[in-house]
């Protein structure tokens, strides 16, 4: 090899690495398990960089454009695709955050706040527990391998240089609606129990006006909510992992 060509080759590899990092690194910064708020940003960026360099030899990347404007547009498009992948998975996991809020509301635990592992804002204690359990399930079931595979195989569906903004926006909207549907459907048993208990306590108060309904209702709602929560927690987490894996598989097919 001509030594005079070494700077051009090195420059070409740096540009290819920048294009790859725009998608891979951005997705890693947002994906559940990898992009949690409790992980320092430097660690997340370093992880994205290491993963980018590991996948770089097998990524189907085009020759970087020579024009600065075209290169910047390519970087922006790749970063947008990475945001789409990471945000899509994050939106699905947010269904557990909403579920915890609903369960806390109907069971009388909505005022029990705890730091959330998946969101920067506060959450109810049940939502924080669901978030931690979901992150643990992701790594226990090797779902993080599927996330990396989805990033790798996304190049077949969304090749570099193509940015279907309309399709991506529609998919994000569908994921948001799906997250609300999942949360409300899984919260149905809690809503039913809350309605039944409140109706029963209302009838009891009509029969016995001197009964302190609040002091009877609060412990009953908390006990019923926690009991159903413990019983349904394995099924909730299993269903959530299936939904997330199905979306990642559809992205990587």
Instruction: Give the Cβ contact number of residue 98 at 10 Å.
Output: 18
What are the residue ranges spanned by the domains of the chain? 3-252
Spatial distance between the Cα atoms of 172 and 190, rounded to a whole number of angstroms: 28
Regions in the chain scoring below 50 on pLDDT: 1, 253
Task: Determine the pLDDT at residue 220.
Answer: 74
Spatial distance between the Cα atoms of 192 and 180, rounded to a whole number of angstroms: 18
Report pTM: 0.80
Instruction: Give the Cβ contact number of residue 121 at 10 Å.
Output: 9
Spatial distance between the Cα atoms of 39 and 47, rounded to a whole number of angstroms: 11
Buried b (16+ CB within 10 A) or exposed e, 150-161: bbbebbeebebe
Task: Determine the pLDDT at residue 230.
Answer: 86
Over the stretch 129-143, which tens digit does the pLDDT of each residue have?
888 888 889 999 888
Over the stretch 216-252, which tens digit does the pLDDT of each residue have?
667 777 787 788 888 888 888 998 999 998 888 887 5
Task: Determine the pLDDT at residue 253.
Answer: 44
Task: Determine the pLDDT at residue 4.
Answer: 54
Task: Determine the pLDDT at residue 223.
Answer: 82
């Amino acid at each position: 090899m001509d030594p005079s060509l070494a700077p051009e080759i090195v420059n070409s590899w740096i540009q290819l690495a920048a294009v790859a990092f725009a998608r891979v690194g951005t997705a890693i910064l947002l994906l559940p398990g990898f992009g949690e708020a409790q992980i320092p940003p430097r660690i997340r960026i370093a992880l994205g960089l290491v993963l980018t360099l590991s996948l770089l030899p097998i990524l189907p990347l085009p020759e970087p454009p020579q024009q600065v404007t075209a290169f910047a547009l390519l970087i922006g498009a790749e970063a947008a695709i990475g945001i789409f992948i990471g945000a899509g998975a994050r939106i699905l996991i947010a269904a557990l955050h909403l579920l915890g809020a609903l369960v806390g509301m109907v069971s009388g635990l909505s005022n029990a706040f705890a730091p959330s592992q998946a969101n920067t804002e506060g959450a109810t204690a049940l939502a924080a527990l669901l978030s931690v359990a979901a992150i643990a399930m992701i790594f226990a079931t090797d779902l993080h391998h599927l996330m990396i595979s989805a990033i790798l195989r996304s190049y077949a569906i969304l090749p570099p240089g193509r940015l279907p903004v309309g399709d991506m926006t529609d998919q994000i909207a569908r994921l948001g609606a799906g997250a609300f549907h999942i949360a409300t459907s899984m919260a149905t048993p809690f809503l039913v129990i809350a309605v039944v208990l409140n109706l029963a306590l209302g009838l009891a108060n009509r029969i016995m006006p001197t009964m302190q309904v609040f002091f009877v209702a609060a412990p009953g709602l908390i006990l019923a909510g926690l009991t159903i929560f413990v019983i349904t927690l394995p099924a909730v987490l299993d269903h959530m992992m299936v939904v997330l894996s199905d979306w990642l598989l559809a992205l990587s097919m």
